[in-house]
């Protein structure tokens, strides 16, 4: 017997609080987190037939949320670039954005990150870069022809080494 839409919606309500907590990690703002949760639940309801009963509903919802957040971020970033190119005057929002970002400082940070990456051995750098570019663990394992556990370990160790190298940027 398959899950009814009512049963599915009941399960969604049960996950709403944990989704909000997860959304706060992305947005750092309660209102934006609530919007993200609402959009996630709406998308889940629209596509509930794609959910396979017996699989991890929470993981499925988190994946939907992550994809929505990434797409919104990309859209916002593109519109910000478009606004900056299309206007002669500078809006208050653009002033706040530019005041909070120091491009010169960002270049130094980028150089430090590149140097830290180049300090990794090739065995760690390749899986780390692939993971950073969005490849899944199994895709990295297949591409490099190494076990998935080795991929996870190398990425973990690369992160650990990078954190140590870039500890100067750690917030106090």
Q: Say whether domain 5-84 belongs to CATH 1.10.510.10.
A: no
Q: How far apart are CA 4 and CA 169, in angstroms?
A: 50
* Proportion of the chain above pLDDT 90, given as a percent: 30
Radius of gyration of the chain (CA): 21
Domain segments of the chain: what residues?
5-84, 102-166
- Token pair 């987190």 is found at 33
Longest CA–CA separation in the chain, Å: 62
0.85 exceeded by pTM:
no
Q: Are 36 and 27 in contact (CB under 8 A)?
A: yes
Mean pLDDT of the residues in the chain: 80
**Local structure of residue 4 (DSSP, 8 states):** P
Reported as a single tens digit per residue, the pLDDT across 130-172 is 988 888 999 999 999 999 999 999 999 998 888 888 777 665 5
Measuring CA to CA, which residue among 62, 60, 54 is closest to residue 22? 62
- Token pair 């009814």 is found at 4
Reported as a single tens digit per residue, the pLDDT across 51-78 is 888 888 899 999 999 988 888 877 776 5
Instruction: Determine how many CB atoms are found less than 10 A away from the CB of residue 9.
Output: 14
What CATH code is assigned to 102-166? 1.10.10.10
CA distances (Å), origin 43, targets 39, 51, 60, 151, 170? 6, 11, 11, 32, 36
């Amino acid at each position: 017997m398959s899950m009814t839409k009512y049963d599915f919606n009941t399960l969604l309500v049960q996950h709403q609080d944990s989704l909000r907590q997860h959304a706060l990690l992305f947005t750092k703002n309660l209102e934006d987190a609530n919007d993200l949760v609402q959009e996630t639940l709406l998308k889940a309801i629209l596509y509930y037939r794609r959910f396979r009963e017996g699989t991890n509903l929470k993981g499925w919802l988190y994946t939907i949320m992550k994809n929505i957040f990434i797409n919104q971020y990309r859209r916002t970033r593109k519109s910000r670039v478009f606004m900056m190119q299309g206007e002669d005057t500078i809006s208050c929002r653009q002033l706040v954005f530019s005041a909070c970002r120091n491009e010169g400082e960002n270049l130094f940070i980028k150089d430090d990150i590149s140097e830290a990456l180049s300090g990794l051995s090739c065995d760690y750098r390749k899986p780390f870069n692939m993971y950073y570019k969005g490849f899944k663990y199994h895709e990295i394992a297949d591409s490099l022809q190494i076990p998935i556990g080795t991929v996870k370990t190398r990425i973990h160790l690369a992160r650990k080494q990078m954190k140590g190298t870039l500890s100067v940027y750690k917030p106090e």
